[in-house]
Amino acid sequence: MLTKSKIALIAAIILGAASASLAKDSGPPNIDLQKTCRESANALAGVTGKDNQDTFSTCMADEQMAREQIVKDWATYPALAKARCTQTKEFLPGYVEWQTCIEMTRDVIKMRKEQAVSTPASSNASRQSSSRRAGSKTIECPSVKIGEDGSIVSVSNC
């Protein structure tokens, strides 16, 4: 039996999840760029023994440019790419890495969709002609099933 307190807790969880997803869709998560760049520059200085001010300044400029581009294009990125690539709990999360990951994921999804559209027609024609000649059904391996969002649903190695 659901009590008022249980109902209130469930509602809070649902509303919290909804507001979190809305916040995520409104733009990329925020990163403390100074912290990320300072730690990166310090780590590099520890390896090279050189002053880290130039490294810090370059890092800040690169990260800010990547953030601006991500914010500009955020609405056009696939949800799958945004969810996979923007991990705030990573060690030194960065917009440059996120931008690269999002764009690569977007491009892979696009390529998979294009292949899924173009491959069946051409492979069916070749399969039909070869099965007519050989008198048996030909199966192409491996077989990859792709979902609507471009993600891999299953792979059969036959």
| Structure confidence at residue 136 (pLDDT) | 57
What's the burial of 102, exposed, middle or buried (CB within 10 Å: 0-12/13-18/19+)?
buried
Which residue, among 60, 56, 51, 42, has the nearest Cα to 96 in the 3D structure?
A: 60
> Given this model, what pLDDT does residue 137 score?
61
**Mean pLDDT per 10-residue interval, the chain, length 158 residues:** 46 39 68 92 87 88 97 94 88 90 94 81 46 55 74 76
What was the pLDDT predicted at 122?
47
Q: What is the pLDDT of residue 25?
A: 61
User: What tokens were used for 157?
Assistant: 């190695």
Residue pair 51/123 in contact by the 8 Å Cβ criterion: no
Q: pTM, whole model, 2 decimals? A: 0.59
C-alpha to C-alpha distance for 35 and 93, rounded to whole angstroms = 10
Print burial letters for 116-138: b (CB count within 10 Å at least 16), e (below 16). eeeeeeeeeeeeeeeeeeeeeee
